[in-house]
Amino acid sequence: MASAQLSPPLVVVTTRDGRRLAVEVTGAPDGLPVFLLHGTPGSRSGPKPRGIVLYRMGIRLISYDRPGYGDSDRHEGRSVADVAGDIEAIADHLNLDRFAVVGRSGGGPHALACAALLSDRVTRAAALVSIAPADAPDLDWHHGMTHLNVNEYRSVDASGTAYAAELAARTEETHNKPESLVDHLRPALCERDHRVVDDIAMRKLLTASYREATRSGPGGWIDDVTAFRKSWGFELSTIRPPVLLWHGDADTFSPLQHTRWLAKQIPSAKLLVKEGAGHFAAVEILPLTLMWLSGVRQAAADDVLPGPDWMAEAFPSEWVRI
């Protein structure tokens, strides 16, 4: 990861209902297409490997602002399932028949929606530190979750209007001073997360993404949280492509129990849990996840990420070594 790199050119894609989506493509032009779905809040400029690293991986990474974030038009009232239509529009615009998809944090449910609703086009999918549906049976949804998130989600249940007003104020503050969001989250971060967000290069990437995400107002943030609290609009049991679910056991934003529940619902899922890792560790695991999504062999991976045992330590050999 690095902070000093030129911004890729903006690609604007129009959906069937006339909305504009802001898209960014980096890495190898002829590489394996992988959609990276950002967190909540987030934007297409969120943390990702540098273009040269992606090129050496053989990855063509496609990220975009979800509706209401950055330069993408808002889609008020959207569901998690609506992401499939947006991804399909972008893939068609880029002439992509098949692609992989990975979602981080708030992008996790959206990645799973693509795996369920675009199974004929998605080769593999990954959800990193994802949440589970709010109506998940046999899951104490708020257990282990920081009060910062609990208060937000419960306010949606009780009064969407009050929550929208509060979040609008936080959005303005985040846009004017994006470091304030990191400071707001800090009390709930584990020790390892502190190391991630205090890294100078990573903090610059995070704050740049937060500033871009909130540039158009609170719409994207509000619609994300509202979408998570209502029906997602698809069945997890219908997912057929291979799915990687990754989580840190010290995560208090999206507690581990959420991903454990997801793993029981998705027939093709493999669950990996990292001891001592928190929510922002998903940024660190992204390069390895891209390797898994591409189906890369160990020898080729070692050319990009040196060290003889890195893949064996990160992923179980019986289902990653191909």
Number of folded domains that form the chain: 1
d(CA 121, CA 116): 10
Residue 309 located in a structural domain: yes
- Match 């503050």 to its residue by tokens: 173
* Of 6 and 181, the one with more pLDDT: 181
**DSSP codes joined into one string, 170-193:** HHHHHHH-THHHHHHHGGG--HHH
Going by C-beta distance under 8 Å and a sequence separation of 6 or more, which residues neighbour residue 69? 38, 41, 42, 43, 212, 213, 214, 216, 219, 220, 221
What is the distance between the alpha carbons of residues 219 and 93, in angstroms, rounded to a whole number? 25
> Residue type for 135, please?
D
Six token digits for residue 302: 């070692």
| Spatial contact of 65 and 109, defined as CB atoms under 8 Å apart | no
Q: Identify whether 70 is part of a domain.
A: yes
Check whether 322 has a pLDDT greater than 60.
Answer: no
Residues 6+ apart with CB under 8 A from 179: 203, 207
Between 309 and 267, residue with greater pLDDT: 267
Burial class (CB in 10 A: 0-12, 13-18, 19+), 144: middle
- Residue 1: inside a domain: no
Task: Look up residue 50 and give its amino acid.
Answer: R
Model confidence band, residue 18 (pLDDT cutoffs 50, 70, 90):
very high
Across residues 54-81, what is the average pLDDT? 96
- Greater model confidence, 127 or 226: 127
DSSP code at position 7: P
- In three-state secondary structure terms, 258 is helix
Please list, in sequence order, all residues whose beta carbon lies within 8 angstroms of the beta carbon of residue 301, skipping any fewer than 6 positions away: 291, 310, 311
Instruction: Give tens-digit pLDDT for 235-292.
Output: 999 999 999 999 999 999 999 999 999 999 999 999 999 989 999 999 999 998 999 9
Is residue 266, in this structure, part of any structural domain at all? yes
Question: Percentage of the chain surpassing pLDDT 90?
Answer: 77
Q: What's the mean pLDDT in 144-163?
A: 72
- Residue 266: give the domain boundaries: 10-320
Confidence check: pLDDT of 306 > 60: no
pLDDT of residue 298: 46
Indicate the range of 63-67, 127-131, 314-318 predicted with least confidence: 314-318
Stretch 101-111: mean pLDDT: 98
Contact partners, residue 171, CB within 8 Å, separation at least 6: 41, 214, 217, 218, 221
Q: Where are the alpha helices (DSSP H) in the chain?
A: 51-57, 83-93, 107-117, 147-158, 160-176, 179-185, 191-198, 200-213, 219-229, 256-265, 281-294, 298-304, 310-314, 317-320
Q: What is the CATH number of the domain that holds 296?
A: 3.40.50.1820
Out of 113-127, 159-173, 194-208, 221-235, give the one with best mean pLDDT.
113-127
d(CA 119, CA 100): 10
Q: pLDDT by residue (tens digit) across 196-231? A: 999 999 999 999 999 999 999 999 999 999 999 899
**Spatial separation of the C-alpha atoms in residues 62 and 296, rounded to whole Å:** 18
Task: Tell me whether residue 119 is in a domain.
Answer: yes
* 74 inside domain: yes
User: Does the pLDDT of residue 76 top 80, yes or no?
Assistant: yes
Q: How many other β-carbons are positioned within 10 Å of the β-carbon of residue 307?
A: 10
Domain-embedded: residue 4: no
Q: According to the model, what pLDDT value does residue 114 have?
A: 98
d(CA 230, CA 57): 37
What mean pLDDT do residues 170-183 have? Answer: 92
Q: Are strands 20-27 and 59-64 parallel, antiparallel or unpaired?
A: antiparallel
User: Domain for residue 2, yes or no?
Assistant: no
What is the structure's pLDDT at 320?
42
Q: Does position 317 have pLDDT exceeding 80, yes or no?
A: no
Mean pLDDT over residues 85-101, rounded? 98
Name residue 25's beta-bridge partners.
Answer: 62
Is pLDDT at 191 greater than 50 in this prediction?
Answer: yes
Each residue of 26-48: pLDDT tens digit?
Answer: 999 999 999 999 999 999 999 99
The answer to which of 43-57, 95-109, 271-285, 300-314 has the lowest mean pLDDT is 300-314
Measure the CA–CA gap between 64 and 21, rounded to whole angstroms.
7
Segment 178-199 shows an average pLDDT of 92
Whether 40 and 225 have beta carbons less than 8 Å apart is answered as yes
